[in-house]
């Protein structure tokens, strides 16, 4: 199996503009973008199921919320850039590049692995790792907005702020729908 998409993702995480442009224009990269975002979800569900007493359906819901939010917010930021700031470009191209930056979310598997050696609060560490991964994805997004969509720095920042607000609202709504009233107490 050719794992070139991992190398491409690492280059994007290093803010390689040429690689960002290449992935943006590669329609075949769309499948790998979903793989990059989906691998940590599947791995985390399996690892969480092996070490916790929470119902599997609850674990799946808890881990689906960040994934759904990431995908939705990527498209939200692309729409904002196009509608508010008249950026030219493809939503799918934007999604591919930012999703490849999601390679950093693979680090979210580490807390569940650490759970096997007795780390007490796996979900808190998971949330912290996801926060750090999300911040770096926003850095990549900022560069994609400037380099691919040709936004000004100010417009790129506004787009990202709107994306962050959208993510917070979406996660809250998804948490209430999928988990219920206890979601806000858990996270």
Helices (H), the chain: 4-13, 17-25, 29-51, 56-85, 91-101, 109-115, 122-147, 153-178, 183-186
Going from N- to C-terminal start, the domains of the chain cover 4-186
How far, in Å, are 6, 176, 181 from residue 133 at the CA level? 16, 24, 27
Contact 112, 47 (CB under 8 A): yes
Closest-CA residue to 4 (of 26, 92, 17): 26
Query: What is the pLDDT, as a whole number, of residue 54?
Result: 61
Report pLDDT digits (tens) over 20-59. 999 999 999 999 999 999 998 888 878 877 776 666 677 7
Residue position matching structure tokens 């979900």? 123
Query: What is the pLDDT, as a whole number, of residue 65?
Result: 82
Confidence band (pLDDT; 50, 70, 90) for 186?
A: very low
Closest-CA residue to 12 (of 105, 104, 106, 135): 104
């Amino acid at each position: 199996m050719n794992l070139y998409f991992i190398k491409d993702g690492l280059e994007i995480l290093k803010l390689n503009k040429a690689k960002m442009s290449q992935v943006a224009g590669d329609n075949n990269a769309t499948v790998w973008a979903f793989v990059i975002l989906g691998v940590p979800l599947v791995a985390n569900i399996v690892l969480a199921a092996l070490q916790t007493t929470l119902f599997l359906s609850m674990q799946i819901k808890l881990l689906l919320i960040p994934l759904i939010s990431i995908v939705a917010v990527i498209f939200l930021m692309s729409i904002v850039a196009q509608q508010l700031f008249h950026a030219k470009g493809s939503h799918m191209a934007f999604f591919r590049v930012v999703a490849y930056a999601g390679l950093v979310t693979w680090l979210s598997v580490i807390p569940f692995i650490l759970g096997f050696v007795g780390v007490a609060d796996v979900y808190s560490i998971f949330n912290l790792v996801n926060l750090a991964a999300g911040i770096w994805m926003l850095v990549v997004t900022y560069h994609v907005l400037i380099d691919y969509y040709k936004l000004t720095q100010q417009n790129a920042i506004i787009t990202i702020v709107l994306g962050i607000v959208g993510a917070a609202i979406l996660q809250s709504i998804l948490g209430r729908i999928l988990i219920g009233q206890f979601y806000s107490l858990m996270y």
